[in-house]
């Protein structure tokens, strides 16, 4: 399938041979050329499991206190990249798999087999994630397990490289604006892996906890390309 998109405008008639005394406003047809879709869902049915999952995360940190690093600063993230494979997270794993399958169908990838790569991100006071993306995945996402007041917001960077140089700013057509997402406990967010994003500094003593994940093509796993 070609990556090009073509369209035509129909302004409803030919221009007159001579200028009219007063300008006529043409009928404009708008075309949104590069829409970027994300998905959200509140997994309210899993609320009874969440206190136990928070305890499990804190126990994992206590057992392996050295953070993995990557994009997390002033906090902790797991070396384990298969967190959702643990039996205690089975209900969450199945919910995330179902959500990814639904999103992939919308993307024309409904028959694509995938596996979940998953890890824990935990922010202490002042903790954040710097700007990054998750290269080479079908989808990326986060599940918000604990979000105390003052939790840092999740921010999507506008993916249109040239728009930052434009005059128009804000969430209007052809304007430049990053998108801020205010997290809440039980929120699931899916987004394209190539969307650059970061997390603003956390301003609470109680940690902010998310389980982050990628839906990766299964053939990557079998080929050892992790």
- The tens digit of pLDDT for each residue in 149-185 reads 999 999 999 999 899 899 999 989 899 999 999 999 9
> 218 Cβ partners below 8 Å, 6+ apart?
112, 113, 114, 115
Q: What pLDDT is recorded for position 15?
A: 53
Rounded Cα distance between 53 and 205, Å, is: 19
Rounded Cα distance between 226 and 221, Å, is: 6
Contact (Cβ atoms closer than 8 angstroms) between residue 218 and residue 114: yes
Q: What pLDDT is recorded for position 221?
A: 55
> Residues, the chain, total?
226
Q: What pLDDT is recorded for position 149?
A: 96
> In the chain, which residues have pLDDT < 50?
1-3, 5-13, 222-226
Q: What pLDDT is recorded for position 10?
A: 46
Q: Write out the E strands in 78-153.
A: 114-132, 139-146
Beta-bridge partners for 23:
none
φ, ψ for residue 57 (rounded to 5)?
-65, -45
pLDDT in tens, 9-24: 444 445 555 555 678 8
């Amino acid at each position: 399938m070609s990556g090009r998109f073509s369209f035509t405008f129909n302004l409803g008639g030919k221009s007159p041979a001579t200028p009219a005394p007063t300008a006529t406003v043409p009928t404009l047809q708008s075309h949104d050329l590069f829409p970027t879709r994300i998905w959200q869902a509140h997994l309210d049915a899993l609320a009874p499991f969440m206190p136990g999952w928070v305890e499990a995360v804190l126990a994992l940190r206590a057992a392996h206190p050295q953070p993995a690093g990557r994009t997390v600063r002033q906090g902790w993230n797991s070396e384990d990249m298969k967190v959702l494979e643990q039996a205690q997270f089975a209900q969450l794993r199945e919910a995330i798999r179902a959500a990814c399958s639904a999103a992939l169908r919308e993307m024309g990838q409904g028959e694509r087999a995938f596996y979940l790569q998953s890890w824990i991100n935990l922010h202490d006071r002042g903790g954040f994630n710097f700007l990054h993306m998750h290269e080479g995945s079908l989808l990326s996402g986060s599940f918000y397990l604990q979000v105390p007041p003052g939790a840092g917001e999740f921010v999507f960077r506008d993916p249109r490289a040239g728009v930052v140089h434009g005059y128009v700013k804000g969430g209007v057509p052809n304007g430049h604006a990053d998108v801020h997402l205010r997290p809440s406990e039980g929120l699931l967010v899916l987004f394209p892996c190539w969307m650059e994003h970061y997390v603003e500094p956390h301003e609470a003593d109680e940690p902010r906890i998310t389980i982050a994940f990628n839906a990766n093509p299964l053939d990557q796993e079998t080929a050892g390309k992790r």
